[in-house]
Amino acid sequence: MRMDAHPARTHGHRRTAHGSKQPEGEAPFVNIVGELVALGPLRRDLPYQWWYSDFSTTRTTGKSRPMTVEEAAAWYERHALNDREAHFTIYERVTWRPIGTTMLMDIDMENRRAEFGIVIGEPASRGKGYGTETARLMLDYAFTAHGLSNVMLIVNAYNLAGLRAYEKAGFREFGRRRQCRFMGDKMWDHVYMEWHRRRVYQPCVEPSIRTRRRATVGERDTRSPLSG
Ligand SMILES: CC(C)(COP(=O)(O)OP(=O)(O)OC[C@H]1O[C@@H](n2cnc3c(N)ncnc32)[C@H](O)[C@@H]1OP(=O)(O)O)[C@@H](O)C(=O)NCCC(=O)NCCS
């Protein structure tokens, strides 16, 4: 993970199919750069109404109706100004298109914990490894930038892509709320997953220090979430 800022040139914007502004031929401002995706600040101009209203999204996020323009605007204002949350825009690196959002919610610095969320709002951008890498980058961010020890999430048991992506990123199931979600004429569990800092090394320390620490501390699973 590279946690440096990439300023966008602000001239020459064009509008995408869903109405978002994108700097012409330039990478947007991003803070965290992975191999497949990059993460930058939340932006007012993105198509949240479309991203959060598509039924392929609401099916797994749990909302049961489309979002109105007013709700989308209120959603942006609420989250952009909440300092117990950290929201990022997810960009596909190959095109620098914004494809969704990811966030830490309920950040509790006293107890060093938070909740993770993600929506890849562009259906064509799912199933390409972006969700897995985004989750990994967000865990590094939670650990490196906030010093968080525990990050949890809740996912519907029928969200197989989510379960797999989170597992690959380093989350592990720690419990279930049984039969609490109705979908497709059936009741499903909520799966509770967590990541704990003991599972990873500090991703920004020197490799030699990591090796030494692995030898002396002897943790069972010490892979960085970025090491695959
Ligand atoms: C859930 C979500 C974040 C996952 O991100 P993604 O980029 O689509 O996922 P990835 O491509 O990184 O990984 C998906 C994995 O699940 C697997 N998968 C996908 N569909 C599957 C299915 N029906 N059964 C089993 N595995 C499946 C993929 O093969 C892949 O695993 P692999 O790399 O080992 O082959 C994304 O699809 C999304 O935003 N969906 C809509 C909103 C949502 O569900 N948000 C999360 C709410 S908790």
pLDDT for 90-140, tens place per residue? 999 999 999 999 999 999 999 999 999 999 999 999 999 999 999 999 999
Q: Which atom of ligand 1 is nearest to the CA of 156?
A: 48
Distance (angstroms) between ligand 1 centre and the Cα of 10 equals 33
pLDDT for 181-196, tens place per residue? 999 999 999 999 999 9
Distance (angstroms) between ligand 1 centre and the Cα of 159 equals 8
Distance (angstroms) between ligand 1 centre and the Cα of 93 equals 18
Token couple for 111: 């107890």
pLDDT for 4-47, tens place per residue? 555 433 333 434 444 455 555 677 999 999 999 999 999 999 99
Q: Which of 37, 50, 99, 126 to mutate to test the pocket of ligand 1 (most atoms within 8 A of CB)?
A: 126
Residue whose Cα lies nearest atom 48 of ligand 1: it is 155
135 lines ligand 1 (CB under 6 A): no
Q: Where are the beta strands (DSSP E) in 62-108?
A: 86-92, 97-108
Q: Which atom of ligand 1 is nearest to the CA of 56?
A: 41
Residue among 84, 101, 82, 86 nearest 37 (CA):
101
Residue whose Cα lies nearest atom 27 of ligand 1: it is 161
204 lines ligand 1 (CB under 6 A): no
Q: How far is CA 168 from CA 70, 179, 209, in A?
A: 36, 25, 25
Structural contact between residues 139 and 152, judged by C-beta atoms closer than 8 angstroms: no
144 lines ligand 1 (CB under 6 A): no
Report the DSSP pairing between strands 172-182 and 150-156. Answer: unpaired
Structural contact between residues 54 and 121, judged by C-beta atoms closer than 8 angstroms: yes
Average pLDDT across the chain, whole number: 83
Q: Which of 50, 58, 118, 134 to mutate to test the pocket of ligand 1 (most atoms within 8 A of CB)?
A: 118
Domains and CATH numbers, the chain: 2-149 (3.40.630.30)
pTM for this model (two decimals) = 0.84
